[in-house]
Amino acid sequence: MEAKKRSSLRRVLLLSIVGSSLGAVLITALVTVGLTRIGAPQRAIASLRNEASSVADVASGLPCADAARPAQLARQLGARVRFVPDGSRRLLASVTQAEGRTTLLGRDVYFSSVPATICGTTGRLFVFTAVTDAPALPTGFGRRLLLAGLLAFAGASLLAFVLSRRMSRPLKELADAARSFNVPASPTNTDTLEVAELKESLAEMVTDLRDARDREKAFLLSISHELRTPLTAIRGYAEALADGTARRPRQAGEVMLGESKRLERLVQDLLDLGRIEAGEFSIELRSVDVCDVAASVVDALRPLAKEQDVSLVLEASTASVVRTDPDRVHQMIANLVENAMRVAQTVHVEVAPACVRIRDEGPGLDAEDVAHAFERFYLWRRYRGDRAVGTGLGLAIVGELARRLGVKINITSDHGTTFELRFDAS
């Protein structure tokens, strides 16, 4: 079943803003119409008040023939006009206010009155209009309200289009950049703070991913070569032994044993490095004398040093107590000593306060190689044709352990190489 097609951010923004604007316009129109209808009685009475004043002005100037003339003149001004002399309420007995709403002759009416003097007679001039004849909305109000609503909706739609385009464009650029694995364009002056930060973060992420991908390619190429070499030797001698063509079976067995150990060490280094990077190893910090750790490393490696005709020298004149993980430090020192044993006839392990130095008298490292010493397979690729090298992972493991333990490593290379491990004092 196909996944439902997703709407673009631009479409969502456009529809959301336009819909919200349309809803706001409709609500405003309904509220305005409602309030206008509620105010209809007040508008009708105010209109009658103005009309009564005008009629009173006209009536006061009309000629008078007899005493009955005031009422007759008032009626001549319109069927909705009544003049009530002071003291007489026969015609409007139900009217007790100067203006308002009442029932007259069976009809609901609005009325308003003003004092007037007609033919010398004082009284009040009333003007009436039926409730049903009073407009609920002012003349032309609906047309003006519709025009205003259309203009507001058009403006909101234009604003929604501009905003949706402005917001969706940089996000689309980021999506295209992520899809093609290209570094996105730098932030522009028109980008919002969030979009600018997102572009910068994505650019850094893409750069890191590219570097990681390149390192991964180099790692796979190196490890495949490193695995293929001992496997080829083991397979070749194994086939010779199986076919009975091996002239020196004992030598073949020794080669196979050596290559097997090399392969085992490579696999173990890979497992150690994988566990370190995945955080799947424990660190137990406690106060420990690194003199004891260094001495245990030297004792463990003496048989191998004797086999390779290498002299191991431990120089530890005083105790050096630090807070660290002795097992991890043992692994670090052992890896550094084993690397040194491959290129030198004498290896010194020196212990000072909060410091351990592994110094050899080998060919040393070029200045440009020091900064890359802890990269996987770097020194193996750099020097494998010139000198004996290990799996290419030993120093990488040392670098990772040092970073996790907070140990600082300094490398100097002048008539040999010295790796200095500096610990925080306990």
Domain 40-133 fold is Beta-Lactamase (3.30.450)
* Helix (H) / strand (E) containing 418: strand 417-422
Strands (E), 34-176: 81-85, 99-104, 107-118, 121-130
Q: Are strands 417-422 and 408-413 parallel, antiparallel or unpaired?
A: antiparallel
Q: Residue 138's pLDDT is what? A: 67
Q: Residue 421's pLDDT is what? A: 93
Q: Residue 387's pLDDT is what? A: 47
Q: Residue 422's pLDDT is what? A: 92
Q: Residue 3's pLDDT is what? A: 42
The answer to whether residues 367 and 413 touch, using CB atoms and an 8 Å cutoff, is: yes
Q: Residue 59's pLDDT is what? A: 76
Domain 284-422 fold is Heat Shock Protein 90 (3.30.565)
Pick the CATH number of 193-275 from 3.40.50.11540, 3.20.20.70, 1.10.287.130, 3.20.20.150: 1.10.287.130
Q: Residue 356's pLDDT is what? A: 92
Q: Residue 254's pLDDT is what? A: 80
Q: Would you say the pTM of this structure is higher than 0.85?
A: no
DSSP structural state of residue 5? P
* Helix (H) / strand (E) containing 264: helix 249-278
Q: Could you list the mean pLDDT of each consecutive 10-residue stretch along the chain, which spans 426 residues?
A: 52 72 77 73 84 82 62 63 75 71 80 83 84 72 75 76 69 64 62 65 75 67 64 81 80 79 73 67 84 90 87 86 88 86 88 90 75 67 54 76 88 85 82
